Amino acid sequence: DYVFRGFSQANEDPVLQAGVDLTAGGFYAGGWASKVDFGDSTDAEIDIYGGYRTEAQGFAIDVGVLGYAYTNQPSGTDYDYVEFKAAASRAIGPVTAGASLYYSPDFFGADEKATYIEGNLAFTPAQKWTVSAALGKQYLDVTDDYVTWNVGAAYAISDNLVLDVRYHDTDID
Residues of the chain with pLDDT > 90: what percent? 90
Q: Report pLDDT for 74.
A: 95
* Amino acid sitting at position 21: D
Tens digit of pLDDT for each residue in 41-63? 999 999 999 999 999 999 999 99
Task: Please give the full DSSP string across 81-114, using - where no structure is assigned.
Answer: EEEEEEEEEEEETTEEEEEEEEEESS-STT--SE
Q: Report pLDDT for 50.
A: 98
Are 169 and 148 spatial neighbours (Cβ–Cβ below 8 Å)?
yes
* Amino acid sitting at position 147: V
d(CA 105, CA 126): 41
Q: Between the CA of residue 24 and those of 21, 48, 64, what are the distances in Å?
A: 10, 17, 14
Give pLDDT < 50 ranges for the chain. none
Q: Report pLDDT for 111.
A: 82
Q: Report pLDDT for 110.
A: 77
Q: Report pLDDT for 109.
A: 83
d(CA 48, CA 53): 17
Q: Report pLDDT for 28.
A: 98
d(CA 54, CA 42): 36
